[in-house]
Amino acid sequence: MFGMDAVDECEVIARRIVSEFERPVVLAGREVFSTASVGVVLADSEHYHKADDLLRDADHAMYCTKQQGRQGYTLFSHQLRIDQADQLALETELRRALEEEGQLVPYYQPFIAAATGALAGFETLVRWQHPQRGLVSPGVFLPVAEESGLITRLDRYMINAACAQLQAWRAEGRVGEGIALHINLSSANFRDPDLVGWIGERIAHYRLPPAMLHLEITESALIDQPEAAATAMQALHGLGVRLALDDFGTGYSALSYLHRYRFDVLKIDQSFVFDLDRKQESVAIVRAILALARALDLEVVAEGVETASQSAMLKEMGCGMLQGFHFVAPAPAWALDWDKLARFAEGRAVWREWSTRFNRWRYDLYAPVYDKVAQGFARHRRRAIGLLNPQPDERVLLVGAGTGLDLDFLVRCRHVAAIDIAPAMLARLRERAGKLGMEVDARVMDGQRLDFPTAASTRWRCTWCWR
């Protein structure tokens, strides 16, 4: 066995290697930055009898470094050996899942046009419903797929399934040619000489307009295969397929990629969106990305939109498309709520968000006038009333009403069901309605127990939230 001196010496060497790679290299008159992912293993006679086994574990340690940020080193350990055994079992099960129907399921997360609320497209995500393990997280099995070389088979499986689904939606009249279907493409595919031909064959087989297919490529994929990526991307553009740069802003050379590679869409990483209403730095970064995209004539999708305030800020900044749980969570094709997707453009969609301030669920109206109404109800009262005034056979679902709500607005609506409204407010509402000679159907309900998607899909016109 090796002692601590040997371990320390290996770590010193690994750190030195990583440090050397941090220095820029001048190529063709330009500075180029690179990173090093190092795997370290100590060759003891108890575990190693063949060089191949040693290289296998060093390779595994190196992949662990890549998963942790692609810069640094990992020392192979007993825990990694245990994890490796589990990964080998998972790899075998993943091979079986790729050969069987029903385990690997495409999930689709819609994204919308910020200006109109109309459906703009879907991102395709893979979920693994394992017969014994249950739902396996992509964060668990995707690294196994990459390390084992199964990622190209998985990508093809998902591309084929997504194209088939897109053909079905077109046949049903649910989507037109303006809808984009985004699918992730890993770097390993760029080593496949048949990639472009196979994608072209799938497009022809399903009779799809090529521009409906958007392949998402991460910055890390461009680091792994820069030359092969450039060649493949040029050929894919030749087919008419569109390309999106995913997780923009998180890598080391994002601007150089825009200069070297031809993209059609930028996807702003969710880490910047998450801090939009918390950090001015995130606001400045997002504004800069949007300005850059406009200058380069690129479309922009903001990922990870989770709150109404984030949505409003991105819309105000001119972001073209929005994606996140604030709108719709990823779901299999059979579970997509097409009625809800249609309500986006009509300004009648319902959102639920936990309010830490009030320690309860908060429901918001998503509408073209949402941001203006939020700035001050009085200035836009007439427009809001016109939006929410129901038809005789419809009802207005008033949600999260507070004491700042304009009572005259309430009583102008023929029927009101008040959710989470304070008893004192309910009494004031009825008193005001009585003075105006109007009847108000109002009641106190517990918003946390309300099956909101069901309620919204009946005859409810829309929701209103005012704090």
Query: For residues 166 and 434, which has the higher predicted lDDT (pLDDT)?
Result: 166
Q: Measured on CA atoms in the order 146, 149, 153, 159, is the torsion positive or negative?
A: positive
Query: Facing residues of 74 across strands?
Result: 39
Query: For residues 346 and 276, which has the higher predicted lDDT (pLDDT)?
Result: 276
Question: What confidence score (pLDDT) does residue 370 get?
Answer: 31
Question: What confidence score (pLDDT) does residue 406 get?
Answer: 46
Question: What confidence score (pLDDT) does residue 436 get?
Answer: 63
Provide the 3-class DSSP secondary structure of residue 394.
coil
Question: What confidence score (pLDDT) does residue 251 get?
Answer: 61
| Phi, psi for residue 445 in degrees, rounded to 5 | -135, 160
Provide the 3-class DSSP secondary structure of residue 73.
strand
When pLDDT is cut at 50, 70 and 90, the band that residue 264 belongs to is very high
| 13-27, 177-191, 205-219, 235-249: least confidently modelled range | 13-27
Residue 294 has pLDDT above 80, yes or no: yes
Longest dimension (CA), the chain: 93
For residues 344 and 356, give the distance between their C-alpha atoms in angstroms, rounded to a whole number. Answer: 26
**What domains, with CATH codes, occur in the chain?**
7-76 (3.30.70.270), 96-346 (3.20.20.450), 385-443 (no CATH)
Q: Measured on CA atoms in the order 157, 160, 164, 166, is the torsion positive or negative?
A: positive
Residue 244 has pLDDT above 70, yes or no: yes
Residue 250 has pLDDT above 80, yes or no: no
| 38-47, 93-102, 328-337, 409-418: least confidently modelled range | 409-418
Question: What confidence score (pLDDT) does residue 207 get?
Answer: 96
When pLDDT is cut at 50, 70 and 90, the band that residue 136 belongs to is confident
Residue 397 neighbours by CB distance under 10 Å: 27
Q: Is the pTM of this model over 0.75?
A: no
Over residues 340-369, mean pLDDT: 46
For residues 454 and 278, give the distance between their C-alpha atoms in angstroms, rounded to a whole number. Answer: 34
Over residues 350-373, mean pLDDT: 38
Residue 149, sorted as left (phi over 0), alpha (psi -120 to 50) or beta, turns out to be: left
For residues 274 and 317, give the distance between their C-alpha atoms in angstroms, rounded to a whole number. Answer: 15
Over residues 241-266, mean pLDDT: 81
Query: For residues 428 and 397, which has the higher predicted lDDT (pLDDT)?
Result: 428
Question: What confidence score (pLDDT) does residue 428 get?
Answer: 66
Query: For residues 373 and 28, which has the higher predicted lDDT (pLDDT)?
Result: 28
Q: How far apart are the first and last CA of the chain?
A: 67
For residues 336 and 169, give the distance between their C-alpha atoms in angstroms, rounded to a whole number. Answer: 12
Over residues 292-318, mean pLDDT: 90
Q: Which range scores top for mean pLDDT: 1-10, 332-341, 373-382, 436-445?
A: 332-341
Average pLDDT, the chain: 74
* pLDDT tens column, 53-85: 788 777 877 877 776 766 788 877 666 666 666
Half-sphere exposure of 7 (CA within 13 A, CB side): 9
Q: Specify whether the CB–CB gap between 292 and 286 falls below 8 A.
A: no
Q: Specify whether the CB–CB gap between 214 and 182 falls below 8 A.
A: yes
Question: What confidence score (pLDDT) does residue 340 get?
Answer: 78
% the chain with pLDDT above 70:
67
Question: What confidence score (pLDDT) does residue 426 get?
Answer: 62
* pLDDT tens column, 79-89: 666 666 677 88
Residue 384 has pLDDT above 50, yes or no: no
